[in-house]
Structures are given as structure tokens and as C-alpha cells.
Amino acid sequence: MSGGLTENITCPVSPLTFGPCAPVGRPRQTDPVHIALSRAASVVTAVELEESGHELARHELDARALAPWIREREADHPRWVWNDTAHWYPSLLAAGVRISRCVDLRLCHRILRRAASAAASELASAPRGGWDSPARPPESPTTSAMLFELEPPPVDDDPVAEWRRQREAVEGSARPGRLALLLAGESVGALVAAEMRFAGLPWSHERHDELLTELLGPRPTVGRPAKMEAVLARVRAALDDQEFSPDSPVELVKGLQRAGVRATSARSGDLKQLTHPAIAPLLEYKKLSRLHSANGWNWLDEWVRDGRFRPSYVPGGVVTGRWASDGGGALQLPRQVRGAVIADPGWTFVVADAAQLEPRVLAAISGDTAMARAGQSQDMYQGMVDSGAVETRPQAKYGMLGAIYGGTTGESGRMKPRIERAFPRAMEYVEAAARAGERGEVVSTWLGRSSPPGRGDSYDETASDAQLMKLRNDARGWGRFTRNFVVQGTAAEWALCWMGSLRRRLWEVGGGDGAATELTARPHLVFFLHDELIVHSPIRLAVDVSTALRDSAAEAGRLLFGAAPVEFAITVAVVDRYDLAK
């Protein structure tokens, strides 16, 4: 099998960068296509490199002159090579400079260090060094001076040497096209993460406060909000216990037992099984309490400023390649508060969601044509019903989720034989990934991101991750992890490609390089949630943005899977409030 279409596209500049394909002024043979940046104190060194890696020129710049210099050089759309996007890009954005492509060396290093397809490379076998350390925190005026004095940059910090090592690792790998696409996707993701934080998600402080007041009562200066207190009073009355304490799981269970209720845990799901008049108000209390503590007024004060929610995203923060977030809980925004996400006047949101992304990804990576056929429908689960594989949509949904997650009980367990019969290649694929995990082997995504080493391997990279360590000691549990890894991880790769393609298209919709306006004056990404994107757009461009979203989804499918007959359907909604999208 080939690496998809990625090897076949001809383009003056590599398409694997998610940058413009036909730059103004086609590069001459000696034009630099990469510019590597490094910094020592206030001096920035910029090294211009040919595609071959040959050094063309070297400049030393004062750090304060960097942004205008980059703006000027950006006309040729070089790839900016730097250690951490999160270190360099925020200050450029603040100076009004948007770049089209980069190589985030640390994110790429992390992938290559572990990639099974590049295991023979010098990079993979080198001792751990500075590039294996976590990213240096972005400079902040209060801490940077101190940190830099205490921790001098590691000696192997040279971005040019590292870039060459990475290029060798990719070129010598079993799947150079796929790995190159993965690294390009990871890097463009880092650009998007910085841009989304810079732009912020439009958030109405006023509407959020109204929502909280409706549900909880007015903000109290001390103690519980009035409506929470009232619900708690109903719980206490039903238990005939004025001392009942709902906020500690231990106390909650004890309190219920004192009243003769056979509770063994404080989990909502378990409480729901019980029949007692106190249960309904108690569940209601827990719901309100969660909202109050996680996304209440304190959250609003801390995270929403000047009408924008600016969380910090962590590209590649999850072992599977999904993003994580660091503060603000951007990836867990409860539906309850999404009504506070309101577009600016004259602007709107274009909200797009990849429909049944993981099942479609499974059809593609396993080459299961029957499953791919079901995916010709906009609604893949309905397509599975129409093909006769199962009788109802819920059967299709839980059957598929069971296949992907390794479920054995309930409806998903019951559906397993039928799914196996209808989609044998897909099931064989995930079963093989699970067995490999149980044996302690490494598995890899379609583009080549490899799972952490399995059981029995004396490898300490993730030793600090308690959850992974626990899972690793449970063969079946680790098998479920690797089974899910190949699907979730490849879905994350599709999403990166979708986002990278969209980013380039949005820039064009906004006028391309000809329009000398800043990022937030054009349609721009403001939110990303695994398989969902939100674009904040001037109303008059919403149709073009919708088209760009669909074209990007199709392009992502082609980039990963070439001509494979798998459709990646998305739903698109143009709304001025996020909660209206679904």
C-alpha cells in the first residue's frame, strides 16, 4: 500500500507544509525554503537553508527587530524552523505577523523519537537530550530572567543540526511520505493553537452571568448560591437529615446509608439506580454544583477577558496525538454554557463537525470496503442499517464504539458477532492492534505515530504518568488502549490535516496575501475540539467558509488515504451562538 497521494502531488513548494501551493514568485533554485531561528540572550540567529539542507546565509538580528524582519521574509513563504511554536509565535502574532508554515522541532522530535518506522535513525538511537525535554515555557517578564539564569539552554539546542537529524530520520524511514505529512500536520497544528489563543473564542460575560443566575441564583458573596441551597433543602427534607453533606463523596454515601438508602458510591450513574425521594434532587444538586465549581463565576473571572475566552491548547498533549489543554478546560466546555459563545456584531460562527469520524477512519485504515460503503452515507450509522448489517441506528453506533473501544458488555458486546460478520476486515484490524498491545508490542497510527512502549519494556519516558503505568500492568487493559490508539490517533491525524488545509483556505477567503490585514480581521479559527471546528467569520463570507470547510475535509481524506473510497462527511452550521449548532 502506498502512503496515499502525498508522494504524487507536484508543487513548487512541498504541499506537506499546509502552506500556499503556488507562491508568488516561484522559488529559484537557490531561494531559501527554510529559515531556522535560535536565540541567545537578545540576539536571534537566522540561518537560511535550501531544500537540500545546504546553508545559504546566516544573519544575526536584535530580538526587537525580529518581527518586522520575519514579516518581510514571509513574502516568500519560507518554512520557519524553531524549537517551540509556543515560544516564538505569540509575540509575532502580537506584532501583527502571521506566518504560513513552520517546523516545530520539539513536537516533531517527540514523534520521531518513538516512531517505529524511523527506529533505525540516528535520532531514535541517540541518548536523551535537550530536544526530549518539555518545551521551555513562553517568556513572561516576571519569570524569564530568573529561569534562564538557573537553567541555561542545553548544548544540543542548535535547530539546524536537529532539523537535519529529523530530515534524515524521515527520509530513511519505512514511510517517508506519511511521516512527513504527520510532522507537517503537527507543526501547522501548533500554529493554529497559538493563533486560536491569540484570537480567543468570543464569549459574552453578560450572557454567561445570566445563565448562571437563571440556574443557580444570583452570585453569592459567601456560601452556596440560593437555588443550590434550595435544592439541597429538598434533599435534606427527603432524608429527614438537616446535617446531610453532599459535597464530599464519603459523607454523601454515609449520609444516604444513615437514612437507609443502599448507596455504595457517590457517582451519579450509581445513584440513578436507587429509588428514594432524595435521589432526584440530589442528582440535580450535583449537576448545579458541578456547573458552579467548574464553569461558574470564578471560572468566568479567571478566563474571560475583554469578551474572549483564551485557553491554552497543548498540541500533541495526549499520547494518541490529540490535543490537550492547559488551564481553562477548553476541551471540556459543558453544553450548559455554550450559549455564552456569541459572535461579534456583523460576524457569525461557522461550526463544523466531522460525522462519525472514528468509524470512517477505521474503514480507511483497515481497507474494509463494506464499511467504507456504509460511509458513503452522510450518516454512517444509518448507512450500516441500510446495508443490512444491523437493524437500528443505536445498534450500529454502540456496535462500532464497542469495536473501537473494546467493549464486551451491554449492547456493544451483543452487537460484536454481527459487526464481525458484516465488517470482518475492520474487526480484524482492531483485534490485531489489541493482541499486539497484550503482547507488549508497539502499535502505530496510519501516519506513523507510535504508542508508548508496552509491558515488560524497561523504558522510563512515561514513568511519571501514573495512569499509563497502571494500565501497562494490565494486559487486557493495555490491549484496549492499543486498539483505541490506532483509531483515535489516526482520527487526530485526519483532524490536523483538516485544520491545516482549512487554515490555508481561510487565509485565501480573507483576501490572501494581497489583503494587508491582521488575522482577526479575516475569517479565523477560534475553537477546535477533536473532530469539531469553529470559524469566526464576517457574515458575508460564511458561505465561502462553509465551502472551505468541506473542501478541506475532502483534502484531508485524500492526503491521508489517497484514492481509498472513504468519505469524510462533515456537518456545517452557520449560527451566531455556539449552542445553536447542534
Partner DNA sequence: TCGGAAAGCGCC
Partner DNA sequence: AAAGGGCGCTTTCCGA
Residues that bind DNA (CB under 7 A): 247-251, 253, 265-269, 286-287, 290, 293-294, 299, 314, 317-320, 322, 324-329, 331-336, 394-395, 398, 401-402, 405-413, 465-468, 471, 477, 480-481, 484-485, 488, 529-532
Return the number of the residue (74 or 358) whose C-beta is nearest DNA. Answer: 358
Return the number of the residue (484 or 501) whose C-beta is nearest DNA. Answer: 484
**8 Å CB contact between 472 and 458:** no
Beta bridge partners of 534: 351, 527
**8 Å CB contact between 159 and 105:** yes
Q: What DSSP element (H or E) covers 305?
A: strand 304-305
Return the number of the residue (163 or 481) whose C-beta is nearest DNA. Answer: 481
Return the number of the residue (411 or 441) whose C-beta is nearest DNA. Answer: 411
Neighbour tally for 497: CB within 10 Å: 28
Residue whose C-alpha is closest to residue 299's, from 175, 203, 435, 442: 203
Q: What is the DSSP string of 464-514?
A: T-HHHHHHHT-HHHHHHHHHHHHHHHHHHHHHHHHHHHHHHHHHHHTTGGG
What are all long-range contacts of 464-473, with beta carbons under 8 Å and residues at least 24 apart?
468/319
| CA 175 to chain CA centroid, nearest Å | 23
Return the number of the residue (2 or 298) whose C-beta is nearest DNA. Answer: 298
**8 Å CB contact between 394 and 385:** no
**Minimum CB distance to DNA, residue 451 (Å):** 10
The Cα–Cα gap between 315 and 111 comes to: 12
The cell numbers describing 390, all together, are 444491523
Q: Residue 487 carries which side chain, given as an amino acid letter?
A: V
Return the number of the residue (320 or 450) whose C-beta is nearest DNA. Answer: 320
Return the number of the residue (477 or 562) whose C-beta is nearest DNA. Answer: 477
**Minimum CB distance to DNA, residue 91 (Å):** 23
**Minimum CB distance to DNA, residue 218 (Å):** 18
In 167-282, at which residue ranges do the beta strands (DSSP E only) sit?
A: 201-202
Beta bridge partners of 55: 49
Q: What is the DSSP string of 439-456?
A: TT---B-SS-PBPPP-TT
Termini Cα distance of the chain: 38
Return the number of the residue (282 or 519) whose C-beta is nearest DNA. Answer: 282
**Minimum CB distance to DNA, residue 330 (Å):** 7
* The residue to which cell 451519579 is assigned: 268
**Minimum CB distance to DNA, residue 152 (Å):** 25
**8 Å CB contact between 381 and 397:** yes
Q: Are strands 34-40 and 79-82 parallel, antiparallel or unpaired?
A: parallel
**Minimum CB distance to DNA, residue 443 (Å):** 12
**Minimum CB distance to DNA, residue 573 (Å):** 13
**Minimum CB distance to DNA, residue 444 (Å):** 15
The Cα–Cα gap between 239 and 438 comes to: 48
**Minimum CB distance to DNA, residue 430 (Å):** 11
The Cα–Cα gap between 313 and 334 comes to: 17
**Minimum CB distance to DNA, residue 505 (Å):** 22
The cell numbers describing 517, all together, are 490585514
**8 Å CB contact between 537 and 347:** yes
Return the number of the residue (462 or 520) whose C-beta is nearest DNA. Answer: 462
**Minimum CB distance to DNA, residue 270 (Å):** 8
Return the number of the residue (412 or 450) whose C-beta is nearest DNA. Answer: 412
Return the number of the residue (88 or 398) whose C-beta is nearest DNA. Answer: 398
Phi–psi pair at 120, nearest 5 degrees: -85, 0
DSSP reduced 3-state for 235: helix
Return the number of the residue (329 or 440) whose C-beta is nearest DNA. Answer: 329
**Minimum CB distance to DNA, residue 79 (Å):** 28
